[in-house]
Amino acid sequence: MQATLKVYRHDPDAGGKPTFQPYPLELPEDATVLDGLVKIREELDGTLAFRASCNRGFCGECTLRINRGGRLACMTRVASARTKEGEVTVEPIRNVRVLKDLVYDVDQLLWQKIKAVEPWLQPTVSQPEREHVLSDEQLRPVRNAMKCYYCGLCDEGCSVIPFDNTFLGPAALTKAYRFVSDPRDGARAHRLRAIGEPRGMWDCVHCFEADEHCPRGIGPTHRIMDLRDAAVGMGIKSGTRNPQVARHYDSFAASVKASGWLDEGRLALETWGVRRIFDLLPVAWRALRRGKLPTPYRHPKRPGAERISRIFEKVERRSP
Ligand code: SF4
C-alpha cells in the first residue's frame, strides 16, 4: 500500500516555524499510523520525535491528531485514515505545549491536573485497620473510572480547555470521580469541595465532546455530572470562591418550580446580582439585536405549572 504521512515537524528550541513534512511510504495493508512513524524513524529520518509504548491500544502514549481528529496512532489503520490522495496528516493534539515534533508536554496536559485531585485513597480515619470488603455492585463505578489509561483524548476534545487551560478537564475529573465513588474513601466531602472551586467541575459546559472522544467508553462528561450530583447531595453547591454557582442552582430550581419553565432573566439576575448584571448588558444587547431576547420580557406560567410545582414539593419533603 502506498501512503504519504505528512508529519508535523518543529523544534521550539531551534526556533523556526512548524512545517508538515511529507514522507512517501510503502506499507503493509494492515499497517497502523504508528507503524508508519516507526518506519520513517528507522529508515528515512532518525531525527523524528514521537512517543509510543505498548503498540496495543493499552497505554495511551501515542495520542495524536490524525487527519484533524484525536486518535491513538497504534489503533488507527493507515488504510482507513488516508485521504483519496493517499495522505495522512499527523500532528500533536490541541491545547498542548510541543516539546519536539510529535512529543508534547504531558505533565502540563495531564499529570499536574491529576495530581491536583489527590489521586490516592484516603481511608476513613475512624476505622483504619478494618478490612473493607466491597460488593461487585459497589465497585462497578470505581472499575469503570479505572479503565482510564490517561490518553488525554477527552481533554483534547474539551470545549473549555482551549479558552482556559487551567480548567481541570475531563481526565482529571474522571480521576476525582474514581475516588469519590469509592466507598472506602473518607475524603469525599473534601474532594467535592476542592473540585467545586473555580476551574473545577462546575466549569464543564457539558458539550459531551469528552464522551465522544473517550476510547474506553468511560463517559467523562457523565462522570462530571455524577460528581455534581454527589456534591449537591451533600449540600455542596459551589466552592468558596464561586458562590454564584449555588445561586444559579437555587434560582434555576425556584424558577422551574414557580412557573414550570426556566426564567432566564431571573436566573441571570439572581446568579450574578444587580451589580454584576451590568457586565452582561453587552451580551443582552447582542441577543436583543439577533431576536433572541423577547420584548417586552415576559415569563408567564406554562400550562401544567402547578403539577410541576407539586413534584418539587414532593421531592423537598423527601430530602433530609
Ligand atoms: S477518560 Fe477516556 S479519553 Fe479521558 S484520558 Fe481517560 S481513557 Fe482517555
Q: How many structural domains does the chain have?
A: 3
Quick one: which atom of ligand 1 is closest to the CA of 147? 7
- The verdict on 113 and 193 lying in the same domain is yes
- The verdict on 229 and 111 lying in the same domain is yes
- The verdict on 142 and 204 lying in the same domain is yes
* 154 CA to centre of ligand 1 in angstroms: 5
What is the rounded average pLDDT of the residues 75-94? Answer: 96
Q: Looking at per-residue confidence, does 320 or 160 come out higher?
A: 160
In a domain, 239, yes or no: no
Question: If pLDDT is split at 50, 70 and 90, which confidence band does 173 have?
Answer: very high
Question: If pLDDT is split at 50, 70 and 90, which confidence band does 102 have?
Answer: very high
One DSSP character per residue, 60-79 reads: -TTEEEETTEEEEGGG-BHH
What's phi and psi for 177, nearest 5 deg?
A: -60, -40
The parent domain of residue 27 ranges over 2-104
Q: Are strands 19-26 and 63-66 parallel, antiparallel or unpaired?
A: unpaired
* 97 CA to centre of ligand 1 in angstroms: 19
Taking the CA atoms of the chain, what radius of gyration do you get in angstroms?
Answer: 24
Residues with CB under 6 A from ligand 1: 60, 148-154, 170-171, 174, 213-214, 216, 218, 220
Alpha helices in the chain (DSSP H): 33-39, 78-81, 106, 112-116, 136-146, 153-157, 169-180, 188-195, 209-213, 220-233, 244-259, 264-277, 281-289, 305-318
DSSP state of 14: T
- The verdict on 110 and 197 lying in the same domain is yes
- The verdict on 74 and 122 lying in the same domain is no
- The verdict on 190 and 271 lying in the same domain is no
What is the rounded average pLDDT of the residues 60-81? Answer: 95
The CATH number that applies at residue 17 is 3.10.20.30
* 173 CA to centre of ligand 1 in angstroms: 10
pLDDT at 127: 61
- The verdict on 96 and 111 lying in the same domain is no
- The verdict on 88 and 120 lying in the same domain is no
DSSP state of 185: B
In the chain, % of residues over pLDDT 90: 82
What's phi and psi for 85, nearest 5 deg?
A: -80, 0
- d(Cα 111, Cα 142) in Å, to the nearest integer? 20
What is the rounded average pLDDT of the residues 139-160? Answer: 95
In a domain, 7, yes or no: yes
260 CB neighbour count, 10 Å cutoff: 17
142 touches 181 (CB < 8 A):
yes
Total-model pTM: 0.89
What is the rounded average pLDDT of the residues 78-89? Answer: 95
- The verdict on 118 and 219 lying in the same domain is yes
Reduced to 3 states, what is the DSSP secondary structure of residue 240? Answer: coil
- The verdict on 213 and 314 lying in the same domain is no
CA-nearest residue, atom 6 of ligand 1: 148
* 261 CA to centre of ligand 1 in angstroms: 35
List CB contacts of 158: < 8 A, sequence separation 6 or more: 95, 167, 169, 170, 209, 210
Quick one: which atom of ligand 1 is closest to the CA of 174? 1
CA-nearest residue, atom 8 of ligand 1: 151
239 touches 245 (CB < 8 A):
yes
206 touches 158 (CB < 8 A):
no
* 60 CA to centre of ligand 1 in angstroms: 9
Q: Quote the cell numbers at residue 147.
A: 479503565
CA-nearest residue, atom 3 of ligand 1: 214
pLDDT tens-digit readout, 107-129? 999 999 999 999 999 987 666 56
- The verdict on 200 and 288 lying in the same domain is no
